[in-house]
Amino acid sequence: MSSIQWPFPKARFTSGISSAANQRVQRWAKKRQGIDKAVTTLRPGRVYILPTGVGLIYALMSFAMLLGSMNYNNNLSFVLTFMLAGLGFVAMHQCQRNLVGLELSFAGVEPVFAGQSAQFRVAVSNHSKSPRYGVMLYADKSVSEVHDLPPGESRVFTLAVKTDRRGWIQLERFGVRTFFPFELFRSWAWMHMNLRGLVYPAAADDAPRPPPTQSAQGHRQHDARGEEDFAGLRRFHEGDSPRHVAWKAYARSGQLLSKQFAGADTSSQWFDFNSVPTEDIEQRLSILARWITDTDQSRADYGLRLPRREFPPAHGEAHRQQCLEALALFGLDDANG
Amino acid sequence: MAKPRGTDGSLLASLPWTLAALALAIVPHVQFLPIWITAAFVACCAWRYAIEQRRMLLPATWVRALLALACFLGVLITYSSVSGVGPGSALLAIMAALKLLETRKRRDQFVLLFISIFLVMSSLLREQFMWSLPYLMIAVLLIMTAWLRMSATQAESATSSFRTSSRLLMYAFPLALAMWVFFPRIATPFWAVPIDTSSGTTGISDTMSPGDISSLSLSDEVAFRVTFDDAIPQPRDRYWRGLVLHSFNGRSWSGREHATDRSARDKIVVSGAPIAYTVTMEPTRQQWVFALDIPYTWSLARTTMGSQHQLARVQPIDQRIAYDAVSYTEYQTDVDKADIFPRRSLDLPEGSNPRTRELAQTMYAAAGSKSAFIESVLQKFHQEEYFYTLQPPALGNNPVDAFLFNTQQGFCEHYASAFAVMMRSAGIPARIVLGYQGGELNPKAGHLIVRQSDAHAWTEVWLEGIGWRRVDPTAAVAPERIDAGMSGSMLNGAAAAWGLSAPSAFLHNLGLSWDAVNAKWNDLVLGYGPDKQNELMQKLGMQEPDWRKMMLTMIGLVIGMVILISLLLALRYRTPRPDKAAILYRTFVKKSGISIAVGESPTRFAARAQAESELDEELIDDVTTEYLHARYGAPDSQSLQRLQQTVSQL
């Protein structure tokens, strides 16, 4: 939609306003509106509107046509001029009404690795009886796809936000806007939902090979089958050894369960923060993230040992997420969050 | 070089709409544009269409630059100017055609649509017919629909764009009407309007060469319409004075220059009853203003009387105008010999038309007095074999001689010219007046229609103690031409002689009705100028209307209406409160055993429920359809009832 800004070369929230003034305006808007709830309906008072570049040209053209009509004293060209001017007024109100009453609700964001874009999902619902056209979401450096919203319908918009380091990515403010109709006006609303998404450390590309499994090192040789410290039962996963299936439990309940054992398993690995062969903390986290994702793909069990935290070997999506989240928030102030 | 098209997602789905809008905008120009411009426009449209269809390359920059240069030079050669409505719209058409060849993005289409709007406007500057109003409405509708299509998502159908732009235009209409009525009109233009030479002038020309033109066009086009305040004068008094020709070179009469003479009007001595009337004149692109002989007061701005009592406006009449005037049919002018310029009105070139001079001098000597001489010349035309015809033979180097002695056939110009030459030969100052004579009464509207075919030439002679006196030699030859008017004499004379049947009374009546509607249209819409506006304001109760008051009223009205429209829109876009349907739907969701996810619409929830819930698939479909219908569809109590029934089955 960058051509909307034409003839102004660069896309901005408000054309022609310097970024300092822009920030002041945004602070003012935030102070005025307060923090929004996760489900917010747009009141008319918070939908702002300004003409676009095309709108300014349209106004200029209408004025030129007015002068021409006056000069030629031509009543039909007065009709044309005033029709266009009237359409301008109508378009202004139509543009604002195209947003007012929409309901925005946060629909979640998947964690990503640093360097990837976090996809914030926001659902926009139209509860009115009239369709809304050309609605889009935008943030500082990204614009979502454009959707029409028929009466009673909802659409989930995704806002891609670039991430560069692990931790929480904040989406303090985003906006919803429309150029409908005619793109003469841009009406928008700023949303302050304080959305945040998790960013895992980037998985290192040049990671050293993961440490060999403990069984290969000869640890607990006698315990090769790992059947000693029974820890509990869990749902059977594909790839679990049939030896570990709790057949008795299966006979009772008809459900396939695997026995879980504490301690080493022949196929399990421990990734220890302290034994990663590098000094830099971020680098270590990166390498750990790489080991976890690779091992996760091979469906082997793995455990993660961080200073003060430990995740016993396991596999599966939940385990992977737990481990990566611990890496993402490692050493951060709100790491317990 | 242009990038391969289609590879960057730049195929323009909305281009056909833009093309249609552009084509409609150019249609009224076609009859005025040189044929090569229309051809170039059509060719560029076809080229562009082929590019879009076959995903060809857009022409290279140097090709476009070359084309642009060629076209610009073409316009310059055709018009020898680039300002004015004619060359202006030609340039716009060329710009649009060339822009089509480089239109790659949406923003290029903005340019095309802006050009379309300007083309529509320039067509209105050129002509304002009754169909111009519906035309401009349709054009705006199409342009605005194209505008919407430009930014429409793929999901939005063309019909819905069309409906949206129609709806917005409907909202805009009252606003436009208020602005149109109250926006203060001014009488004088800001800048000189260039004369459009391309479309030529209509009406009477400002030279007269009776020997050269061998036929007179019988155009039925309206020259002007007149509404009289009181009774309509008799046909023989309906002489509409236009311009006066006084210099004769042996072949043709001229007198184009208009010298404003402030004392000219003071030299008119009037008697009898004044005749007040309003003239609505069609554009002639000449400066002459027509009025009943002889005009005494007139309301048209920047219009002055020349020394020969002809009226002219400073700038040419390039659009329909209306003015009030008061005339007197009984008058005397320039009684004092010092007021006229005897040399100018007696001048005859040496050696031209010798036989006419000789004849005039003989006749003058025989008559004895000037008035007797005039009478005898008229008698000569009346009694001898002189014929009134619209298709006289061509005359030679001494056209007056040839006419008087050889052909003896002609129309008003021939008789006026011959008569004036004879007068001058006898030492009587004489001049030619060009204008219109007669006019047809339209009984349906009560006005007089003066057509181009009513154009007429007569003479004025100056007599001691009397001043200028009108003498119409044509009346001596064809009195019915004067009494019944041109159309009358045509119907009974010329047309019948050629074996043409006169148009049936029905068709004639139809024509008169159409003329009445046209006159009303001119009066109401096109003639709405400063005076009419003032009148209307007073009728609406505005005391001493001036532009400030009108402007304030206009702004107030527009603000009021915009607020109203805003309320209307608020009503249209309001969110209905949770009603019975919503409560019933909630019960259904509860029974389904799964909950609605964030941002999930009823249709999506229905799809998920059919997969995950134990409820009957058909039932889910029914509930969803009825719920959507009850809540978002047209007000309808039946779907609510059905919803209630379906939910109670759960």
pLDDT by residue (tens digit) across A113-167?
888 888 888 888 888 888 899 899 988 878 888 888 888 788 888 888 888 888 8
Residues of chain B contacting A135 with CB distance shorter than 8 Å:
none
Choose the catalytic residue: B71, B412, B523, B622: B412
**Shortest CA gap B606–chain A (Å):** 13
| Number of CB atoms found within 10 A of residue A236's CB | 16
Do residues B253 and B432 lie in contact, with contact meaning Cβ atoms separated by under 8 Å? yes
What would the two tokens of residue B322 be?
A: 């209306």
| Interface test mutation site (partner A, options B598, B608, B627, max chain A beta carbons within 10 A) | B598
Burial class for B557, CB neighbours closer than 10 Å (0-12, 13-18, 19+) = middle
Q: Smallest Cα–Cα separation from B49: which of B89, B5, B7, B94?
A: B5
User: What pLDDT is recorded for position A192?
Assistant: 86
To which residue do tokens 């709108």 refer? Answer: A55
Lowest mean pLDDT, pick from B391-395, B422-426, B433-437 = B391-395
Predicted confidence band at A2 (pLDDT cuts at 50, 70, 90)? very low
> How far apart, in whole angstroms, are the C-alpha atoms of residue B177 and residue B388?
52
For chain B, what is the radius of gyration of the CA atoms? 36
Tokens describing residue A93: 């109100």
Q: Which is it for strands A195-200 and A185-191: parallel, antiparallel or unpaired?
A: unpaired
Rounded (10°) angle between helices B547-572 and B158-182: 150
Residue B258 has pLDDT above 70, yes or no: no
- Residue A181 and residue B168: Cβ atoms within 8 Å? yes
Is B71 assigned a catalytic role?
A: no
In this structure, of A79-93, B275-289, B609-623, the range with the lowest mean pLDDT score is B609-623
Pick A73's closest partner by Cβ from B148, B185, B575: B185
Residue B501 has pLDDT above 60, yes or no: no
Instruction: Report whether B380 contacts B366 (CB < 8 A).
Output: no
> Which is more confidently placed, B194 or B136?
B136
Kindly report, as residue ranges, where domains of CATH 2.60.40.10 are found in chain A. Answer: 2-200
Is-catalytic flag, B636? no
Please report the DSSP string for B389-449 in residue order.
-SSPPP--SSHHHIIIIII-EE-HHHHHHHHHHHHHHTT--EEEEEEEE--EEETTTTEEE
Residue B145, pLDDT above cutoff 80: yes
Question: In angstroms, what separates the C-alpha of B384 from chain A's closest C-alpha?
Answer: 52
Q: What residues 181-210 of chain A have any CB closer than 8 A to a CB of chain B? A: 181-183
The percentage of chain A sitting over the pLDDT mark of 90, rounded to a whole number, equals 12
Pairwise CA distance, residues B228 & B274, whole Å: 11
- State which residue of chain B sits closest to A147, comparing Cα positions: B153
CB within 8 Å: B525 and A76? yes
Q: pLDDT band for A219, please (50, 70, 90 cuts).
A: very low
Q: How far apart are CA B26 and CA B33, in angstroms?
A: 10
Q: What is the pLDDT of residue B72?
A: 84
Facing B121 at nearest CB: one of A57, A77, A147: A77
**Percent of chain B, pLDDT > 90?**
12
The residue among B189 and B579 whose pLDDT is bigger is: B579
Mean pLDDT of B233-240: 87
Q: Which residues of B touch A108 (CB under 8 A)?
A: 598
- Cβ of B153 and A70 within 8 Å? no
What is the pLDDT, as a whole number, of residue B564? 93
Q: What percent of chain B has pLDDT over 70?
A: 87
Q: Residue B5 pLDDT more than 70? A: no
Q: What is the DSSP string of A216-261?
A: HHTTTGGGTT--SSEEEEEE--TT--GGGB-HHHHHHHS--EEEEE
The per-residue DSSP string of B494-520 comes to: IHHHTTPPPPPHHHHHHHHHHHHHHHH
The predicted structure's pLDDT at residue B649: 74
Residue A244 CA to residue A226 CA, distance in Å, equals: 10
Name the nearest CA neighbour of B222 among B70, B527, B402, B449. B449
In this structure, the dihedral spanned by the alpha carbons of residues A9, A12, A16 and A18, taken in order and rounded to 10 degrees, is: -120
Residues in chain B with CB shorter than 8 Å from the CB of A65 are 117, 121
For A154, the closest of B180, B572, B600 (CB atoms) is B600
Please tell me if residue A49 touches chain B, with a CB cutoff of 8 Å: no
Out of B124, B189, B632, the one facing A76 most closely (by C-beta) is B124
Cβ <8 Å between A80 and B136:
yes
Contacting residues of B for A41, CB less than 8 Å apart = 575
Interface test with B, best of A41, A82, A158 (most B CBs within 10 A): A82
Are B313 and B322 within 8 A, CB to CB?
no
Of B41-45, B63-67, B592-596, least confident by mean pLDDT is B592-596
Select which of B206, B472, B515, B622 is catalytic: B472
Assess whether pLDDT exceeds 70 at residue A302. Answer: yes
Spatial separation of the C-alpha atoms in residues A210 and A201, rounded to whole Å: 17
Interchain contact, B175 vs A3, CB within 8 Å = no
**Is A60 an 8 Å CB contact of chain B?**
no
Smallest Cβ–Cβ distance between B193 and the set A72, A94, A133 belongs to A72
Nearest to A129 among B525, B576, B603 (CB): B576
**A177 CA to chain B: closest CA distance, Å?**
14
Beta carbons of B180 and A127 less than 8 Å apart: no
Please confirm, yes or no, whether B412 is among the known catalytic residues.
yes
Nearest CA distance, B533 vs chain A (angstrom): 12
CATH of domain A2-200: 2.60.40.10
Of A3, A72, A152, the CB nearest to B602: A152
What is the per-residue pLDDT for A218? 43
Q: Is the ipTM reported for this complex over the cut 0.95?
A: no
Annotated catalytic residue, options B44, B456, B523, B622: B456
Across A251-266, average pLDDT? 62
d(CA B218, CA B237): 22
DSSP string, A151-188: TT-EEEEEEEEE--SSEEEEE--EEEEE-TTTTSEEEE
With CB atoms and an 8 Å threshold, state whether B151 touches A179.
yes
Of A90, A99, A110, A169, nearest to A132 by C-alpha is A99
pLDDT at A13 over 70: no
A with B: how many residue pairs have Cβ under 8 Å apart?
Answer: 198
Task: List CB contacts (< 8 A) between A67 and chain B.
Answer: 190
- Residue numbers in B near A54 (CB within 8 A): 110
A78, A94, A151 ranked by CB distance to B632: nearest: A151
Residue in chain A closest to B533 (alpha carbons) equals: A75
C-beta separation of A114 from A201 below 8 A: yes
Find the mean pLDDT for residues A87-91.
93
| Contact in structure between B287 and B173 (CB atoms under 8 Å) | no
Question: Is A234 within 8 Å of chain B by CB?
Answer: no
User: What amino acid occupies position B604?
Assistant: R
Taking the C-alpha atoms of residue B323 and residue B300, their distance in angstroms, rounded to an integer, is 5
Nearest residue on chain A to B118, judged by CA atoms? A65
- pTM of model > 0.80: no
* Percent share of chain A, pLDDT over 70: 79
Tokens for A310, please give them: 């430990």
Give per-residue pLDDT as tens, A307-332. 888 888 777 778 888 888 888 888 77
Helix (H) or strand (E) holding A295: helix A281-297
pLDDT at residue B503 in the model: 56
Q: What is the mean pLDDT of the segment spanning B92-112? A: 83
Which residues of chain A from 87 to 106 reach within 8 Å of chain B, CB to CB? 87, 89-91, 93-94, 97-98, 100-101, 105-106
Contact yes or no for B51/B2 (Cβ under 8 A):
no
**pLDDT band of A236, cuts 50, 70, 90:** low
Distance between the two ends of chain B, CA-based, in angstroms?
Answer: 67
Q: How confident is the model at residue B2 (pLDDT cuts 50, 70, 90)?
A: very low
Nearest Cα of chain A lies from the Cα of B602 at a distance, in angstroms, of: 7
Sign of the Cα torsion A128, A134, A139, A143 reads positive
What local confidence, expressed as pLDDT, does residue B559 receive?
A: 93
Residues A208, A73 contacting (CB under 8 angstroms): no
Q: Mean pLDDT over all residues of chain B?
A: 81
Amino acid in the structure at residue B70: A
The confidence score (pLDDT) of residue B482 equals 66
Q: What are phi and psi of B141, to 5 degrees?
A: -60, -45
- Test B599 with A105 for CB contact under 8 angstroms: yes
Contact yes or no for B574 and A128 at CB 8 A: yes
CA dist B15 and B45 (Å) reads 11
CB A83 to CB B173 under 8 A? yes
